C-alpha cells in the first residue's frame, strides 16, 4: 500500500514536471528548479542539507544546492520522483513517512498555489487526520517564533497550542490549511483568524516554520 509520503512525492514530481523549470513557487525567491534541487539535496546530500538548521553550514548548502540546480531539470524531477538512494535513511519506509509526509505536501502546495489558476485541493479525511497528528506534535516547534500566543483549531473544535502567550490569536481551518499556515505560508492558507487586530497582523508577518 502506498504511504502518504510516497503519494505526495509523486504528486510533487508531477506538479514540478507540469510547471517547468522556471515557474514561481511560494518559497521566497525560488523557482521550481530551485525547489526541486532543494528536495534532491535534502535526500541525497545530508552533509549539505544540515545547513537548513545549522548556520555555519549554510554556505555549503547554498553551494551544493546551486550545483544541483544547474543539472538538467528533467534529471532533477526524476530524482524527486524516484526518491533517495538505498543507503539513505529516507529510503526506510518509517523515516520517509515521518519526515516527508508534511515536507512533500507543503512543497506540492508551494508549486500549486504560486500559479495564477490554482484551485483548492480536496484532502481526504484519512490524510487530513495524518496531517493533524503531525501538526499536533510539531506545533510548538514551528510556532516558537510567533510574537504572540497562537492556537490552531480544526472546524470540529480540536485544538493545538503553537505558542503560549498573550494576546492569543486563534487560527481555524482544515488540517492541510493549518499545516501550510504554521509552516510559513500564512498568505496562501485558507484559514480564519480570530483575535486582536494588531496581534493578527503580527501573526501574519511572523516567521513561522522550521
CA dihedral 20, 24, 29, 34 (to 10 degrees): -20
Q: Is 149 helix (H, G, I), strand (E, B) or coil?
A: strand
Q: What is the pLDDT of residues 117-133, one digit of tens each?
A: 898 888 999 999 999 99
Q: What is the pLDDT of residues 20-41, one digit of tens each?
A: 999 999 998 999 999 999 999 8
Strands 168-172 and 192-194, bridge-based pairing: antiparallel
Cell, residue 173? 481551518
Q: What is the pTM of this model?
A: 0.91
Q: What is the mean pLDDT of residues 38-47?
A: 84
Q: Which domains does the chain have, with CATH numbers?
A: 4-112 (no CATH), 126-205 (3.30.1050.20)
Share of the chain above pLDDT 90, in %: 73
Amino acid at each position: 500500500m502506498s504511504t502518504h509520503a510516497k503519494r505526495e512525492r509523486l504528486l510533487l514530481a508531477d506538479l514540478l514536471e507540469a510547471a517547468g523549470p522556471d515557474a514561481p513557487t511560494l518559497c521566497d525567491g525560488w523557482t521550481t528548479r530551485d525547489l526541486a534541487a532543494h528536495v534532491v539535496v535534502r535526500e541525497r546530500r545530508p552533509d549539505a542539507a544540515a545547513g537548513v538548521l545549522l548556520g555555519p553550514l549554510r554556505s555549503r548548502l547554498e553551494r551544493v544546492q546551486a550545483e544541483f540546480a544547474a543539472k538538467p531539470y528533467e534529471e532533477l524531477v526524476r530524482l524527486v520522483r524516484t526518491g533517495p538512494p538505498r543507503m539513505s535513511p529516507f529510503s526506510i519506509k518509517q523515516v520517509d513517512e515521518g519526515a516527508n509526509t508534511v515536507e512533500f505536501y507543503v512543497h506540492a502546495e508551494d508549486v500549486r498555489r504560486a500559479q495564477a489558476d490554482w484551485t483548492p485541493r480536496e484532502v481526504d479525511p484519512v490524510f487530513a487526520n495524518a496531517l493533524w497528528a503531525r501538526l499536533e506534535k510539531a506545533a510548538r516547534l514551528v510556532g516558537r517564533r510567533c510574537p504572540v500566543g497562537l492556537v490552531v483549531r480544526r472546524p470540529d473544535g480540536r485544538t493545538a497550542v503553537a505558542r503560549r502567550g498573550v494576546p492569543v490569536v486563534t487560527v481555524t481551518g482544515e488540517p492541510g490549511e493549518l499545516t501550510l499556515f504554521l509552516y510559513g505560508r500564512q498568505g496562501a492558507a485558507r484559514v480564519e483568524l480570530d483575535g486582536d487586530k494588531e496581534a493578527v497582523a503580527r501573526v501574519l508577518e511572523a516567521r513561522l516554520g522550521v
